[in-house]
Amino acid sequence: MYFYTARQPILDKEKNLFAYELLFRDGVKNSFPDIDSDEATLRMIEGSQLNLGLGEFLDDKPGFINFTLDALLKRFPTLLPPEQVVVEILETVQPGKRLLAECQALKKEGYVLALDDYIHQPVWRHFFPLIDIIKIDLRSTSFEEIRQIKQAIAGFPQIKLLAEKVETNEEFQQAIEMGFDFFQGYFFSKPEMMQSRALSPAQMTLAELLYETAKKEMDLAVITGIFERDVNLSYKLLRYANSAVFKRRTDISTIRQALVLLGQTELKRFLSVLFTAQVGSEKPAELMRLAMTRARFAEHLSILAGFTAPAEAFLTGMMSLIDAILDEPMASVMTKLPLSVDIKAALIDNKGPMADYLQLIKLYEQAQWDEAEVWIRRLQLDNKAVPDAYHSAVQWANEQMKALGE
């Protein structure tokens, strides 16, 4: 049995990454046809431990995982180390003596406990000494209900509030004012305000290189000349080429040597990562990580689909969040960047094969498995290869962020 797993970031008030929620149960009909949710949870945990490696997927952050009452009573959470998991008690679980006893046992073993999609009932007060986080859906909870919840937990200062489905920066600010500590949703991946922002000369140089390397036939002399105009960029290229990632017999001492060593595909990746990191230096690190994950995932999907330009798909994925990075409409940003017509068509008009890959990527991020299945069939992709491609992209993005020092 194969399992889909996606992750959604949870940020703190400073927009720093706090944890991820692992989403794997939506779309049971398509993804888990013959087993119930509890067994799906167990197999996901086993698979992550034996195959994926939960630590690599979470990149040293804790993972929120949903558990039903039956899964809790079967002690599924104890299959994972306490420092790696936040035990999220599903909203469908009713408070009772058996649940209370299990929460007490998990707490003694060092687990962090969270209540998912919390709807206040006085009986939950018996659990509050054990609870660390309460998740509240901003879409279905009124201000008055939030106020009542805050009053109920006033005597339990260890309990932190987590706002779910925060989709805009305005909602993020409102949630902070209401006393929330953590925030889940893609508010950080949308422009905070519409304004025009000029690219620096260094960023324009990188954009020029992106354009040159996107050509089917790269002109090595032209690319070498562009690098030689920028000392800082040349230093970064040489440092990257001399890293342990590349097997070489001698050190690299010239720009041309470095370019030949990297090759066209790796050079494109290096430049797009560097460009995104530069223009997004003042943005949440998780936005950079998401852009890198999209880029690698798009590249993998294009290869699975037999697309002849995977490097172009990579760059499309990387640029898919550039509007949020620059706080500017996508169409306006694209006028400033010398990217191919196909990339601009995908990002502005949602047209072409690369737009299709982006659509599947976004569905995957949101764990909308039913819709994702439709697109997987439409693109004629191997249903089992797509999750592998996503997990590989996540791990690659984590490695790149470490290399950038984020």
Q: What is the pLDDT confidence band of residue 46, given thresholds at 50, 70 and 90? A: low
Q: What is the pLDDT of residue 30?
A: 41
3-state secondary structure the chain: CCCCCEEEEEEECCCCEEEEEEECCCCHHHHCCCCCHHHHHHHHHHHHHHHHCHHHHHCCCCEEEEECHHHHHCCHHHHCCCCCEEEEECCCCCCCHHHHHHHHHHHHCCCEEEECCCCCCHHHHHCHHHCCEEEEECCCCCHHHHHHHHHHCCCCCCCEEEEECCCCHHHHHHHHHCCCCEEECCHHHCCCCCCCCCCCHHHHHHHHHHHHHHCCCCCHHHHHHHHHCCHHHHHHHHHHHCCCCCCCCCCCCCHHHHHHHHHHHHHHHHHHHHHHHHHCCCCCHHHHHHHHHHHHHHHHHHHHCCCCCHHHHHHHHHHCCHHHHHCCCHHHHHHHCCCCHHHHHHHHCCCCHHHHHHHHHHHHHCCCHHHHHHHHHHCCCCCCHHHHHHHHHHHHHHHHHHHCCC
Instruction: For residue 154, give every residue at least 6 positions away whose Cβ sits within 8 Å of its Cβ, in sequence order, or none.
Output: none
The mean-pLDDT minimum among 8-22, 269-283, 307-321 falls in 269-283
* pLDDT, position 32: 41
Whether pLDDT at 40 is above 80: no
Domains and their CATH numbers in the chain: 6-189 (3.20.20.450), 201-403 (1.10.3210.10)
CB of 291 within 8 A of CB of 325? yes
Average pLDDT for 26-40: 47
**pLDDT at residue 282 is higher than 80:** no
Calculate what percentage of the chain has a pLDDT beyond 70. Answer: 84
278 vs 137: which has the higher pLDDT: 137
pLDDT, mean of residues 341-349: 93
Model confidence at 54, pLDDT cuts 50, 70, 90, reads low
> What pLDDT does residue 243 have?
66
Give the percent of the chain with pLDDT over 90: 37
pLDDT-derived band at 225 (thresholds 50, 70, 90) equals: confident
Q: Is the pLDDT of residue 51 over 50?
A: no
Task: Tell me the pLDDT tens digit for each residue of 313-335.
Answer: 888 998 899 888 888 889 988 88
pLDDT digits (tens, 9 = 90+) for 283-294: 888 888 999 899
Comparing 12-16, 26-30, 68-72, which segment has the lowest mean pLDDT? 26-30
Of 2-11, 153-162, 302-311, 380-389, minimum mean pLDDT range: 2-11
Q: Angle, nearest 10°, between helix axes 255-279 and 220-228? A: 60
- CA 269 to CA 271: how far, in whole Å? 6
Q: Which of 173-177, 261-265, 275-279 has the highest mean pLDDT?
A: 173-177
pLDDT tens-digit map of 196-208: 556 677 777 777 7
| Whole-number pLDDT of residue 2 | 45
pLDDT digits (tens, 9 = 90+) for 122-147: 899 999 999 999 999 999 999 999 99
Comparing 79-83, 122-126, 227-231, 285-289, which segment has the lowest mean pLDDT? 227-231
Q: Does the structure show a pLDDT above 70 at 361? A: yes
Tell me the pairing of strands 112-115 and 133-137.
parallel
